[in-house]
Every structure is written in structure tokens, then in C-alpha cells.
A = this chain, B = another copy of it.
Amino acid sequence: MESVTPAGPSATLYQRIRRDIEANILSGLWPPGYRVPFEHELVEIYACSRMTVNKVMTDLATAGLIERKRRAGSVVARPRAQQALLSIPDLKAEVEGRGARYGYELLYRERRAARRADADRLGVQPRSPILALRCRHRTDGRPFALEDRLLNLSEIPEAEREDFSVVPPNTWLVGYVPWTGAEHSISACHADAEAAALLEIEPGHACLSLERRTWRGNGSVTAVTMLHPGHLYRLFARFTP
């Protein structure tokens, strides 16, 4: 028996229709493939105009809950590929948000012409000007992130005037450079001798590696690899349709 809530002044007609249909789908009463009532049937059920139920159905289709086809009607969609929203906050804000003390050091800074490896990582022409940085982030004194970053000076020449000895590159970038696209790759790896020394862990320790490339329009802005000791950092993602 499908649920049709009685008319009430508490919600709009749109909300009531949408809530009813969503309830029927999410409860499993209408399984994937089930044919949702036609618009004209809903018009009769709710005694309203077609525009109102059309908006509900169009929005449900946008949300991915149903699929619509002309002439055939609408059916409950089978759940999509699982996706989750991954939050990638500013490390400083994240650490301080947990009440811990945040520490930052610039370990290395070099302006240079892009080598082949740099060019591949950043997606620029070899020999174009870049800024290479290596930084260490601490929480309550313990290293918890090693940052290897390349900045494309052709796209953001302002970066050359910033020395990054006090302001972390990510904080500076978020504040000054708008970006239009980013790509992340998350994997697990072993710390090599150099990284282990800098993170103050034993060589071979499991680490979470987060690589990110960021674009503005067609131009590559920055490429970064963040290495976190596995026991000190985890990423969270959440999804609610």
C-alpha cells in the first residue's frame, strides 16, 4: 500500500508529494524498476496541476531517484555507483579545530626550470618556471604530514613573491587562487628512509599518500603529494542523497 500523507498546512504541496514518493522508494516499497504513477495519475491523487507534480518528478530525476522516459513513464532508478563527498580541509584549520597545536616548517624552497619529472607531475612544458616546496606539518609537536608541492609560476607568478616560511602553501592558495578543477589519488605506501626520518617514524611504516593536481581553466596550478603516517591520519567521506 503506497503512502499518501493526508493534506496538512505544515508543508507545501510540492514537499508533500515529494516526501511521499521518496518514502515509497527509500522504504523499498517501490523497488528499482517499479513504475512510478504517471503524472496525470498523481494529478488525480493530489488534486493539483500537472506543473506541480512535474516539478517533483523532474527534481527526483535530477537527484537520481527515478528515471524518466517519454511515453513509457517513470521508473525507480537502481542505485547509482557509490559516490561520497570527501572533505579535504585546510590542515591548520583541521588540527586547530580539534584543539591541538598546529606546527608548520618550510624544509625546502627552490625556483627552477621544470625537469622532466616535474613537468609530468604538474602537466606543464619542460623548462617552464616552477616553484618546488617541501614542508612539514605537526600536530602537538609530532610530524603528521610531509608535503611535496610544485607550483606553476606561469599561471601564478605571485607565488614567487611569497616565501612560504610562515604561511602554508595550501592556506595561501585557498585564499588567493581560485581553482576550477582538482583530481585526487589516494593510496597506501611504505615510508622510504628520507620520509621516515622527516616524519620521525621507522622506515617502512605504512603511510597514506594523497596526490592532488589542481587546475584553473586549462592551466595547471599546483601538484602536491601529502604523506601521512598511517596511524596519525585518516580521511573521512560522507554521503547522503
Contacts and interface: CB of A to CB of B under 8 A. Distances in A.
Contacts of A93: 81
Interface residues of A, number: 58
Contacts of A89: 81-82
Nearest to A209: B188
Interface in A134-189: 174-189
Tell which of A88, A175, A188 has the most Cβ of chain B within 10 Å: A188
Given A186-B235, A188-B230, A234-B187, A174 B78 contact: yes
A182 B87 contact: no
A188 B206 contact: yes
A59 B58 CA distance: 11
Contacts of A86: 83-86, 184, 237
A25 interface: yes
A28 B185 contact: no
A7 interface: no
